[in-house]
Structures are given as C-alpha cells and as structure tokens.
Amino acid sequence: MIFFFVLLLSFIAGCFVAGVSLHDPDTCWQLALGKLIFEAGAIVRVDPFSYTFDAVQAGHDFVMYQWLSNLIFYATYKAGGIFALLCLAAEVLSLAFIILPICRAYLLGRLTWLSYVSVLFATFAASFHFLARPEIWSYLFMSLYLAISFDLAALNKSTISWKHVLATFLLMVLWCNLHSGFVLGIALLLVQAVCVAISLPKSASNQAPTVFTCLAASIAASLVNPYGVNLWRYLPDLFFPNFNKHIVELQPLTIHELATPTFLPYIGLAVLGIFALARSIKADKRALGVFPVALFVLSVAAGIFCRRLIPFSALIECMTIIQFIAMSKPMRSKVNFLVYPMLMIVSVAAGVYWTSTRDTIKLAIPQGSAAFNPPMKALDYLQTNLPAGNLLNDPQFGNVMILHMNPVPKVFIDTRFDMYGSKLVDEYYRLAKCENDFASKLIERNIAWVFMRPQEKLVVQLRQDPHWKVVFEDDHSVILVRQ
C-alpha cells in the first residue's frame, strides 16, 4: 500500500510541476541566454538585451554564473518544446525530493512510514518554489551531497576514501556551472568539518581525513568554471545586494505566516524531525554524533530567516530525519530496489503528460498567474508599432520581451537584478514610485516610452502629463510615448 502511495505522490508531483513551474517570468531570460550560448557556441561576455548595464557602475563584469543551466533548458526546449522542459523540471525535482530520499532510506534499511511522511512533508514544504529555474539542479546536487556527507559520517577507517573525494569533486564541477547554490554544498561539508574538529580526537577520528579532503576537493572543483576565482568574487553581489529589500522571497517568515497553508508543511517537517531525533537519542545516543543534530538545527533556522532557503532546508531536514531513523534497528523492504526509482520516474512523466494535455491548461512561457499576467497583447502591438528611443519598463515585462520579441528592443531592466547592480535597481524603483525629481531623471535618461503595469504610480502620473500619450492599454499593461 505504501509503495502505491509513493507512486501516487510521484504522479501528483509531475502534475503539480507541469501546472505551476512556468509561472515565473525568469524562465524567459533563462531560455533567451541559453539560446544565445547555443547559437554562438560560446559564453557571451557582454549583455545583449539591455542598454543600461554598465560594468563600472554595477561593480562587476557580465557573469553568466548559471550558463550550463541556461544551455540545458534551451536545448531541452528546442528539442521537445514546453512539454520536454516541463518533464525535465519535474524529473529533477522529483529525483531531489522524492526518489533519492526514498532510495537513501531503502539503502539504510529504514524504509518506514516515518521516512515516507518526511518525504511527503518535505515535498509539500518546498513545492511553493517548484519552478523551471536553475535552482532545481541545486536541489538535486544537495540531495546527492547529503547522501555522501552522511556516508562520510559513518566511515570506520582512518584512511582517505578516494571514491567519496572523487564523487564530491566531479559533482561540484557540474554544480558550480549550473547554479550559485553550489556554495551550499561547500557549506555543508564545512559544517561537517567543524563538527568533526569539535569531536576529535575520539569519535570522529576516522572521518576527519576524508571530510577535510572532500571539502578541499569541492573548493578546488568550484574554480572549474569559465570565470575561475572571479565567480567567487561575484557571489557577494549576488547574495548580499541592497536591492534584496525589494524581494519578498528573501525576507524572513513572520509569526502569522508560520500557520499559513504555504508554510505549515515546513513547520510540520520540523516537528517530525524533533520526534525522529528524540527516538534516535533514546535508541543510541552515542551513535548519533554532533553533525546530524547541528545540521538539522541550522537548516530549520535558515528556512525561517530566509524563505528562499526553505526548499533547501526541507530537503536537508528530510534527509536528516531519514538518518535519525537509521539509528534504530534496520528493516529491509520487500520491494525490489530497482523498481522504486524506475516506476517513480515513469509516474512523474505520466503526471506531466496528464496535466499538459488538459484543455483547462494552456502551456505558455510564462504562464499567467495571480501574481503576474504576461503582457502578450502589448507585445503583439509592439511587434508592429515599436516606438523609437530609450525604454523604461517593468522588470518582469523585460523578461517576456527578451524571449518573445524579434528583434528584441533594448530594455531598461529585467529581473537579473544582480547583474544590473543596486544603483540601477534602486533608480528604477524610485522612478516607478515617482520619487526624487523623477521627471528630470526621465529626461536625463532620455526615456522616450514607458511600458509598465497600469497601477504603477509613474503610469498614473504620466497619464495626466500632456507631454505623454497612451498608445496601448489593457488590463495588464500600459504603453506611453513621449510627445
């Protein structure tokens, strides 16, 4: 019965990803950059889509830090269209959150109801960010790194395990070219190294040589990218810019949000983890070790202080719970091990197919949602009535223009905020909110037309200005041209 439940969960995951993963307009510029790499046969060194990016003003060069994800996404899309892209996202997400954790529990001999419930909670907790974006690769590689890390914690010989070192090195070479979340893999090994150092010289003496070597190998592997050490120099601009205050998903959870349907599974997963931890302490306190406990506590805290980290935290908590469960007596499942992943992969693909063929689902990039409605009618207008001069546009509108317009007009901004830098992002928001003598700034920037949402304060203000004229308008967008 539990086996069929897992197949049903995999099918539902495929259905869910197919229904929601294209809602994020960021997928547009991911595909556009991938197309650029695919057609050029090389990584582009200058941004071709905007007229405002300035390396000196931004404080860094143009860095395509997830170029391999962009290329894979576009190649998949080119080969099989939207359906293939949905299948890719669904399979990677299901591997990370369902298939690999269940296989891990099987290999540990503890494929119990608690393992299944932890996988269920982790999947639902992370589902609010199941999008066709490069972080899906970080979820997958984090799952693999967690499995390796817990294997290291169980080593019983003091010699270096070179197979683990090689595995972490090769995985990191891929990971650092796919998504900036590779730093979390290094952070994971760093936490383990600190825990090993604290536990020396007694209980962790067998782990120390391999853990420290794996950490060094991962750091070295992260330099195998088109930018070398400059990728690391770029990361502070990516992770800690001033414009993070404008991004809701980077903010901490509030007390009221903890009880909402979106985040309640995350709290349930934390409670489940405490229960599993208590059981493992009761079973064998000495076998538990410092590392899994420290990792569990840190992951719960990280998710609360930054909601963007909740999918990673949920995955870490799930794998840690499975590790806690393994402290008790092993119990093998009667189901053939190879049957599990194969049937789950098929179930995920079936879910994607079922959803994508429904008449009620209109596949598009991006799909409309309550949060964002793509301005497709406005783009149709612009395709034959493109105004001359510099544009000031909504960032998400910029994403859609980059993918769907041919030729692509140079945008003022899109959601690659880390590329543009805090100064330009703040300038955009001040203009949109009509702050700090915005009219003079529009003249200084030589803005000839504006493409934004109807409710923006700037749009409301320009409607009343006789020097500006509305040339297109619908429920989702407005185009104004300077007279």
Which three-class secondary structure string do you get for 111-126?
Answer: CCHHHHHHHHHHHHHH
The CA radius of gyration of the chain, in Å to the nearest whole number, is 24
- Helices 264-288 and 310-325 sit at what angle, rounded to 10 degrees? 40
Is 417 found in the same domain as 348? Answer: no
Q: Residue 446: left (phi > 0), alpha (psi -120 to 50), or beta?
A: left
* 8 A C-beta contact, residue 21 and residue 311: no
Is 477 found in the same domain as 421? Answer: yes
368 within a domain of the structure (yes/no): no
How is residue 25 written in tokens? 């307009």
Residue 203 clears pLDDT 60, i.e. is over it: no
Is 417 found in the same domain as 270? Answer: no
Domain boundary among 321, 354, 387: 354
Q: What is the pLDDT of residues 415-459, one digit of tens each?
A: 999 899 888 999 999 999 999 889 999 999 999 999 999 999 999
* 8 A C-beta contact, residue 186 and residue 196: no
- The C-alpha atoms of residue 130 and residue 136 are separated, in whole angstroms, by 8
Is 412 found in the same domain as 473? Answer: yes
Task: Summarize the confidence of residues 32-47 as an average pLDDT.
Answer: 93
Task: Summarize the confidence of residues 152-170 as an average pLDDT.
Answer: 91
446 within a domain of the structure (yes/no): yes
Q: Comparing C-alpha atoms, which of 439, 444, 441 is closest to residue 468?
A: 439
Task: Summarize the confidence of residues 78-100 as an average pLDDT.
Answer: 95
Q: With bands split at pLDDT 50, 70 and 90, how would you rate the model's confidence at 244?
A: confident
Is 117 found in the same domain as 200? Answer: yes
Residue 2 clears pLDDT 90, i.e. is over it: no
Is 118 found in the same domain as 219? Answer: yes
Q: Pinpoint the alpha helices (H) of 222-338.
A: 230-239, 264-288, 290-305, 310-325
411 within a domain of the structure (yes/no): yes
Task: Summarize the confidence of residues 148-161 as an average pLDDT.
Answer: 88
Is 420 found in the same domain as 319? Answer: no
pTM of the model: 0.93
Is 251 found in the same domain as 102? Answer: yes
Task: Summarize the confidence of residues 304-314 as an average pLDDT.
Answer: 93
8 within a domain of the structure (yes/no): yes
Candidate from 315-329, 378-392, 411-425 with smallest mean pLDDT:
315-329
* 8 A C-beta contact, residue 450 and residue 459: yes
Is 381 found in the same domain as 339? Answer: no
363 within a domain of the structure (yes/no): no
- Per the structure, the count of domains in the chain is 2
Is 98 found in the same domain as 152? Answer: yes
24 within a domain of the structure (yes/no): yes
162 within a domain of the structure (yes/no): yes
Candidate from 19-23, 282-286, 365-369 with smallest mean pLDDT:
282-286
How is residue 431 written in tokens? 């203009």
Look at residue 25 in the predicted model and tell me its pLDDT: 94
Residue 134 neighbours by CB under 8 Å, 6+ apart: 30, 66, 69, 70, 73, 178, 179
Is 309 found in the same domain as 454? Answer: no
Percent of the chain residues past pLDDT 90, beyond the cut: 68
Residue 331 clears pLDDT 70, i.e. is over it: no
Name which residue leads in pLDDT, 211 or 332: 211
Is 222 found in the same domain as 102? Answer: yes
366 within a domain of the structure (yes/no): no
Residues of the domain holding 382: 376-482
* 8 A C-beta contact, residue 160 and residue 301: no
Mean pLDDT taken over the chain: 90
